[in-house]
Structure 1
Amino acid sequence: MTTIKIIAVSFLGIASGLAVGSGFVAFLTVLGVIPRLTQLTKTMKMIQQYEWAVVIGALTGVVASLRDPVLHIWPYTLILLGVTGGIFVGMLAAALTEVLNVLPILVKRIRLDGEIIILIMAIVLGKIVGSLFQWLYFVDH
């Protein structure tokens, strides 16, 4: 790989990581997921443990995605992993229903009143182009 390609891929990787990380932090901050979770479970005094669990979970996810780990675990442990993954996806889906209220506010701020479809299509097309780029560039090579 040439030096220019290495620099370009490095830049794209850092930019993508910053974008996703910023989105994740904004998602947790705007929705107040952690404080709300501590309120619902009546565990306000454990808020730092929740925050550290999110940080460690994010870092573990990053490490797992950069490597191809093979886990030699007991098959019944997969049940526990599936349940915890389901809880995460359920909480994420519930939080996303609240995020949908953010799109009309964003449309007004960027002065696209009455044309929310443009914003949604930009998000969809960006996701499609990004997915195709990843699939065609990283999977086939």
Structure 2
Amino acid sequence: MLGVVGLAGGFAVGSAFVALLIVLDLIPRLVQLTRAYRRSAVFESGILFGVMCWSSADLFGWSFRLPAAVLLLPSVFQGLFVGMFAAALTEVLNVIPIVTKRLRLMPYLLSLLMAMVLGKVTGSLVDWLWLHP
């Protein structure tokens, strides 16, 4: 019974993740931004491989004792994914244009975007370097 419940939960979470990717048009947007129209299967395969790999790592409790310098590259890719996912969500919901119009911040739009980016980078570095070294 536990296996059936776990499998059903996995299907539910996987379906929600795929639905979110479809609603946000993340892969077509990446293909459009990189102008790699013939390689859209690479983006799809990369996301599928990442989901399968990290789901297996979580399920089986994989752990690796690696120095922080080696973990820099995977951390950059994870940060890129989360950043692009957040940007796609913001783009779909049109949060930034609505906020800038309502609060009359259009002249300060570049400063607002730079503050958001620098705040995210600073918060991530503080968390990664000082709070969880």
Q: 2:41 aligned with 1:48, yes or no?
A: yes
Structure 2 contact 31–40 (Cα < 8 Å) conserved: yes
Which has the larger displacement, 50-59 or 92-101? 92-101
1:101-116 aligned at under 5 Å gives the runs: none
Secondary structure, in 3 states, of the residue corresponding to 1:77?
A: coil
Match of 2:64 in 1: 71
Unaligned runs of 5+ in 1: 1-6, 102-141
For residues 18-64 of structure 1, what are the alpha-carbon distances to aligned partners after superposition, in whole Å with 9 as ceiling and x for unaligned? 11111111111122111110100111111011111111111001110
Q: TM-score, normalised by structure 2?
A: 0.63
Query: 1:96 aligns to what?
Result: 89
Q: Displacement of 1:72 after TM fit?
A: 4.3
Residue 20 of structure 2 corresponds to residue 27 of structure 1: yes
Aligned residues: 94
- Return the offset for 1:100: 5.0
Would the alpha carbon gap of residues 19 and 99 (structure 1) be closer, same or farther in structure 2, given more than 3 Å must change? farther
Give the 4+ runs in structure 1 shifted more than 3 A.
Answer: 72-75, 98-101
Tell me the TM-score normalized by structure 1.
Answer: 0.59
Report the Cα distance in structure 1 between the residues aligned to 2:31 and 2:22, rounded to whole angstroms: 14
Q: Percent identity?
A: 44
Match of 1:118 in 2: none
Distance in 2 separating the partners of 1:100 and 1:32: 12
Q: Distance in 1 between matches of 2:7 and 2:33?
A: 36
Letter in 2 for 1:18: F
Contact 2:24/2:92 (<8 A) preserved: yes
How far, CA to CA, are the matches of 2:32 and 2:92 in structure 1?
A: 20
Distance in 2 between residues matched to 1:98 and 1:42, nearest whole Å: 19
Q: CA deviation at 1:74?
A: 4.7
Q: Name structure 2 gaps, 5 residues minimum.
A: 95-133
CA distance in 1, matches of 2:88, 2:14: 17
**16, 25, 29: which one pairs with 2:9?**
16
